[in-house]
């Protein structure tokens, strides 16, 4: 239903606003999807908390053992440009750990799913993260600022091939299916961008941490993560070791 609602809007002509403090754009499509998901999911699970990019946050969710973590449209700029790389991202976190996750790209017919202990899937087929360990043979999703020399231990970015996709959720799905060996973002990252993909990568046999190698925790009072590094286990370890 989220995909049907979002695609009923024409991306380039959808009403759009800019959030305060340079937080990016929001559209009437984001809000419509958010309203539908919030009403539907909380009606089914009234004892769950709610954390969404498009809902004003508060402390009520911190009192819930389980919480929905949602990005109604991840990649809103791509959506407004008429691109196909935006995604819906939904996760359930229990006591800080994600237990169920979905990432859906309706215009690409890509549905990534995972449940804790049950593996990760793309359109119903099992997926596995990359086994690559060699930087020189790796393709890593990373924006240009993350490749600046001072961010790396030896003062120079390792010799991987960089690539980019605008949606963080989609990047994590691509890593889980080993289309790319890893992804990294060294900027503070919102939980709703990462939560669903974190479980999908983990259940695909990969590793995901913050930029310092620490495990990710969700439904925090401040819903921002200290950067994210995800990938096959070998290349994830190599990235963490190489970062300053």
- Looking at the DSSP assignment, which residues form a beta bridge with residue 90? 70, 102
Structural domains in the chain plus CATH codes: 2-126 (3.30.540.10), 135-242 (3.40.190.80)
Q: Give pLDDT, residue 21.
A: 63
DSSP 238: H
Q: Give pLDDT, residue 176.
A: 98
Q: Give pLDDT, residue 13.
A: 65
pTM, to two decimals: 0.95
Residue 2 has pLDDT above 90, yes or no: no
Share of the chain above pLDDT 90, in %: 86
Q: Give pLDDT, residue 22.
A: 56
Q: Find the mean pLDDT for residues 111-131.
A: 98
Residues 6+ apart with CB under 8 A from 240: 209, 211, 212, 213, 229
Share of the chain above pLDDT 70, in %: 95
Q: Give the model confidence (pLDDT) of 171-224 as tens digits.
A: 999 999 999 999 999 999 999 999 999 999 999 999 999 999 999 999 999 999
Q: Find the mean pLDDT for residues 57-75.
A: 96
Residues 6+ apart with CB under 8 A from 3: 88, 104, 106
Residue 23 has pLDDT above 90, yes or no: no
């Amino acid at each position: 239903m989220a995909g049907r609602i979002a695609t009923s809007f024409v991306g380039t002509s959808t009403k759009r606003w800019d959030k305060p403090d340079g937080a990016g754009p929001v559209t009437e499509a984001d809000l419509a999807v958010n309203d539908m998901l919030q009403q539907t999911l909380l009606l089914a699970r009234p004892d769950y908390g709610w954390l969404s990019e498009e809902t004003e946050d508060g402390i009520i969710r911190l009192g819930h053992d389980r919480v929905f973590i949602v990005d109604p449209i991840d990649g809103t700029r791509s959506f407004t440009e008429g691109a196909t790389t935006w995604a819906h991202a939904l996760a359930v976190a229990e006591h800080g750990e994600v237990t169920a996750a979905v990432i859906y790209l309706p215009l690409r017919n890509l549905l990534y799913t995972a449940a804790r202990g049950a593996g990760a899937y793309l359109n119903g087929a099992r997926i596995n993260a990359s086994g690559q360990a060699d930087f020189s043979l790796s393709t890593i999703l990373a924006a240009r600022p993350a490749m600046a020399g001072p961010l790396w231990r030896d003062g120079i970015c390792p010799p991987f091939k960089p690539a980019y996709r605008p949606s963080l959720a989609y990047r994590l799905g691509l890593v889980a299916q080993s289309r790319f060996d890893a992804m990294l973002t060294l900027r503070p990252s919102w939980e709703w961008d990462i939560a669903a993909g974190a479980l999908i990568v983990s259940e695909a046999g990969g590793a995901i941490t913050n930029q310092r190698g620490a495990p990710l925790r969700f439904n925090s009072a401040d819903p921002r993560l200290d950067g994210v590094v995800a990938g096959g286990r070998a290349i994830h370890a190599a990235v963490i070791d190489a970062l300053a």
